[in-house]
Amino acid sequence: MKEQYDFSKGKRGPVVKAPEGKEKITIRLDGDIVNWFRHVVDQAGGGNYQTLMNKALREYIEGRTPKFEDTLRRIIREELAAKLSVA
């Protein structure tokens, strides 16, 4: 290792620029949420958990994810139908 390094021609900023249309931000998320996305990516054989988070947010914003109430109603209907068919 050298005693000193010459950084006189160094530049500030990211080494790799973000792709067009992407914005780098700092965000605080619960650890279990981030770990879930990482786990899903690992189970799929690899990829980028941030890309998966971006996709999930986009689907939510565009209304492509089922609403909680709709999902709950569907589950209740299925459970009731199953109980009625047993009785």
What would the pLDDT profile of 2-58 be if each residue is shown by its tens digit? 899 998 988 887 777 888 998 888 999 999 999 999 999 999 999 999 999 999 999
Would residue 53 count as lying in a domain?
A: yes
DSSP output for 33-62: HHHHHHHHHHHTT---HHHHHHHHHHHHHT
Would residue 25 count as lying in a domain?
A: no
Would residue 77 count as lying in a domain?
A: yes
Report field, pTM of the whole predicted structure over 0.85: no
| The predicted structure's pLDDT at residue 13 | 77
Would residue 23 count as lying in a domain?
A: no
Would residue 61 count as lying in a domain?
A: yes
Give the phi and the psi of residue 4 in degrees, each rounded to 5: -140, 150
| The predicted structure's pLDDT at residue 44 | 93
The answer to whether residue 87 scores a pLDDT higher than 70 is: no
Would residue 70 count as lying in a domain?
A: yes
Structural domain span for residue 52? 31-86
Domain count, the chain: 1
| The predicted structure's pLDDT at residue 5 | 93
